[in-house]
Amino acid sequence: MAQHRYYFAAQYNWQGRVGFYLSFENETPEPVCRLSTLRIALGVADGNSWRFIVGSPQWQWNTTYTLKAQITEAGASLWLNGKPLGESAGGFSAHSGALEIGMTPSWASGATDYHLTAHRVSIRTGKGKPVNVPLAESSATVPEPVRMFNPETFWGQPVTRKGFAPALPVTIEATFRLVPLPDWKRFQPYIDRYGQCRYVQTVDKVRTDADLQRSLQQEKRILAQWGTPSDFDRFGGYLKAGWREQGTGFYRITRKGDYWWLVTPEGYPCFYLGVCSVPALLWERTPVSEREAVFEWLPPREGKTAEVWGKDVWGERAGTDYVCLHAVNLMRRFGDDWKQQSVELAKQRLLTWGFSGAGKWDRLESFPCAPVLGHWDVPNLVRHPDIFDPAIQAQFRESLRRQIEPLRNSAWVLGWSVGNEFDEIITREEIRQILRLPGAPAGKRSLMDYVLENLYRNDLSRLVQAWRVTAHDRSALYNAQPNPPEEDIEALRCFYADRYYGWIYRTVKEIDPNHLYFGFWIVPGWWENEEDWLLSAKHCDVLGYDRYAPDFADDWMKRLIARIDKPILCGEFSFPAWHEGARAYGRYPVWAKDEADSGEMYRQWVTNAARHPACVGVMWFQYRDQPLTGRGPGRGNTLVIGEHFAFGLVDFTDRPKWELVKRMREVNLKVAQIRLQAMRR
């Protein structure tokens, strides 16, 4: 399956139902999006809902097209080459965020057989003059085979305009031609035996095993020169704060004035600095099936390298083979004892670079960590287990107990979380599906009971009229297939989420009352609405969240934090280096020019986090770079499958990115002092 989207112009908040976008959209069950299935879409929101105008023209190669969209007080309209594609009546509510022009989102950057060329975008708002934006091809100096890893580079360099305030009418015009994308297969193989791109040439490229050994010896000298900081306890607590709490053997929370602090098991104040996915010895793997020709060399499937191979590692049940080439590099560096030596070096690196410990997604023995628990072995009602069903409750509780028990008394566990990001959001559509379920499962009955007793004050006749069902008693209501109004769906959603999050929180604390609970790493904006933020905060000790953004907190984020009286902990943030596509890695929505730029962005981000009274720590995503050919899931004869970003503190050959980590170390060693100084102001 492939999905691709290209925004000619976009300024919107999807969950907030505000703003507009004009885009190309394509989705297909095939590995590559074809020109024949390409659509044009204009989305306009009025604060309550989205409406769309969609056109599917008969496209021709190398033909010049002019696309025009207009948004007025009365509605919206869309034309192609002067011919109307559609119109939609309704209002418009503007979004105050940045205007994105020529952007391909990371979640919809699948392979295509076409791209745009010779194009420009013009935007006029109100009675102002039009703003013309020519979109030249980006990375034009990058060799063509390297650009094949990032086909969006053929589409033009995206432009971000801050401070754009749309006034009606808004008129968008785009001129473009559609041309075939070059055939990527003619450059095979792409990946060398070290997992690097054969067509990328840098002075520090690994060409022999001896290069790996030389870099290891150089690193040992630098780490010895820098040394392990002596101002912190083994859990990341600052020894020179001038105050100390009673140590309890576990991490906990305290408040000094307006400032929240983590307290280490030994009682010292801590602003936690973590790194996710460490040591990641055999993660992440890349899919191999149906694209073996991409690789110059693949390790034997038996013997010492047998364990670097895996099948259906995402649980897809498609018989897909995956391989972990960075693990082979670790074998080349460290020999038979590669796992233990990699683990010990990872610990030394993180401590020397000023980090407190690990973050989400992996852990190191006798080292701070933040394990993420799951419920993959508990059946879902729709998207989540039915915690209203006593049998499911018992199964869910036992699953959590099994996961927690081995580390229940460990001082190294920072705290627990269950699930991750949007997967744990209770959506409106989930509620609709529960209400449409046949029979009367416990979750459906609980929703019906709640709405009857709390929204309709036990007035069944009023409820069945509003829900357009026939039911003479509660039993018949349970078996109905209702069509509730939107306000009832939202009320039921919040009720269900409140009960679901509350049950998990209480259950985790019953199993393990000593460790902190962080919730499910909610992503601000990736939800139904702000009620999800409030509900998540209600059922945790520290609100864990993930935020991929250039700043720690803009005005909107500050307002969200101010709405809760809870400490917060950021579980993932990152600024992977892009190098204008010259290294073949993907361009993440929040990217840095190079490692030095990434380090400077980190410095500012962490400094601002440390100065915020509510924030008690942050975790960088992640320890290693991802495979150039993507981490999956999926299979097919395409060059990149899934994420392929340079997130790492170390590259794919296990070498530190010195321009990044030296800047990280500088601010990491000062962060406790930065927070203490902010607290004293």
Domain ranges in the chain are 2-187, 211-370+519-680, 390-517
pTM: 0.91
- Amino acid identity at 193: R
Query: How sure is the predictor about 264, in pLDDT bands with cuts at 50, 70 and 90?
Result: very high
Segment 592-610 shows an average pLDDT of 98
Q: Which fold has domain 2-187?
A: Jelly Rolls (2.60.120)
Asked if residue 138 has pLDDT above 60, the reply is: no
- Per-residue pLDDT tens digits for 92-129: 999 988 899 988 887 888 889 999 886 889 999 887 88
Res 8: pLDDT: 94
Architecture of domain 211-370+519-680: Alpha-Beta Barrel (3.20)
H or E segment to which residue 376 belongs: none
Q: What is the mean pLDDT of the chain?
A: 95
Share of the chain above pLDDT 70, in %: 99
Distance, in Å, from the CA atom of 85 to the CA atom of 642, rounded to the nearest integer, reads 34
CA distances, 519 to each of 124, 362, 415, 532, 541 (Å): 44, 18, 10, 12, 8
Phi, psi of 292 (to 5 degrees): -60, -30
Res 322: pLDDT: 99
Range of lowest pLDDT (111-125, 215-229, 349-363, 405-419):
111-125
Share of the chain above pLDDT 90, in %: 88
Distance, in Å, from the CA atom of 278 to the CA atom of 346, rounded to the nearest integer, reads 7
Query: How sure is the predictor about 136, in pLDDT bands with cuts at 50, 70 and 90?
Result: low
Res 137: pLDDT: 60
Res 432: pLDDT: 97
Query: How sure is the predictor about 139, in pLDDT bands with cuts at 50, 70 and 90?
Result: low
Torsion of CA 207, 209, 213, 218, to 10 degrees: 0
Question: Among 192, 115, 179, which residue's Cα sits nearest to residue 148?
Answer: 115
Number of Cβ within 10 Å of residue 596's Cβ equals: 16
- Record the tokens describing residue 9, joined without a space: 């112009």
Do 262 and 232 contact (CB within 8 A), yes or no? no
- The partner residues of 43 in beta bridges, in order of sequence, read 21, 52
- Per-residue pLDDT tens digits for 326-379: 999 999 999 999 999 999 999 999 999 999 999 999 989 999 999 999 999 999
Res 655: pLDDT: 99
Distance, in Å, from the CA atom of 592 to the CA atom of 578, rounded to the nearest integer, reads 6
Q: Where are the beta strands (DSSP E) in 271-418?
A: 272-275, 286-287, 309-311, 321-323, 357-358, 372-373, 415-418
